[in-house]
């Protein structure tokens, strides 16, 4: 397993980023200011993570995505661990926003994240089309925080 920081041509990773955020316009709002990490297993791209600095003590995961055939193999967890280790001396908190999907929320909570607040109707007001996960329309953005 190898994790690489992507410094150029970040939009080349749009296909996998669309797994974590299915609106290309939303991705374009943060991708260039993000630090992007790509995880490779046996030379195959499995997962990516886009991180931005929000303030002097907080970084935010804007996108964490894994190709379906590589999901549930620990790659996204490895990326979270990598990001936490990389930034723990520089920042105090790691935050992220996600939809109300029990599987996704459990994934993050099992890695030490705690829910802090919600942005009501975020997915309805900010996306050009309805977003569904596991047959349920996403409405609110749920923010989670972890102490690094």
127 backbone dihedrals φ, ψ, rounded to 5°: -115, 145
Cα dihedral 15/9/76/60 (nearest 10):
-110
The model's pTM: 0.92
Domain boundaries, the chain: 2-147
102: which residues sit within 8 A by CB, 6+ positions away?
134
CA-nearest of 90, 18, 8 to 56 is: 90
Domain covering 2-147, topology: Aminopeptidase (3.40.630)
Q: What is the pLDDT of residues 65-117, one digit of tens each?
A: 999 999 999 999 999 999 999 999 999 999 999 998 889 999 999 999 999 99
């Amino acid at each position: 397993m190898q994790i690489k920081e992507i410094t150029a041509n970040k939009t080349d990773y749009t296909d996998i980023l669309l797994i974590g955020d299915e609106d290309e316009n939303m991705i374009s709002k943060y991708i260039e200011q993000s630090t992007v990490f790509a995880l490779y297993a046996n030379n195959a791209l499995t997962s990516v993570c886009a991180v931005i600095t929000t303030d002097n003590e907080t970084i935010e995961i804007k996108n964490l995505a894994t190709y379906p055939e590589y999901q549930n193999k620990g790659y996204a967890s490895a990326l979270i661990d990598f990001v936490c280790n990389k930034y723990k001396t520089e920042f105090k908190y790691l935050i992220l926003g996600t939809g109300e999907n029990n599987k996704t929320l459990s994934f993050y909570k099992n890695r030490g994240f705690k829910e802090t607040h919600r942005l009501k109707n975020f997915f309805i007001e900010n996306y050009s089309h309805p977003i569904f996960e596991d047959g349920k329309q996403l409405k609110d953005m749920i923010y989670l925080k972890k102490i690094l």
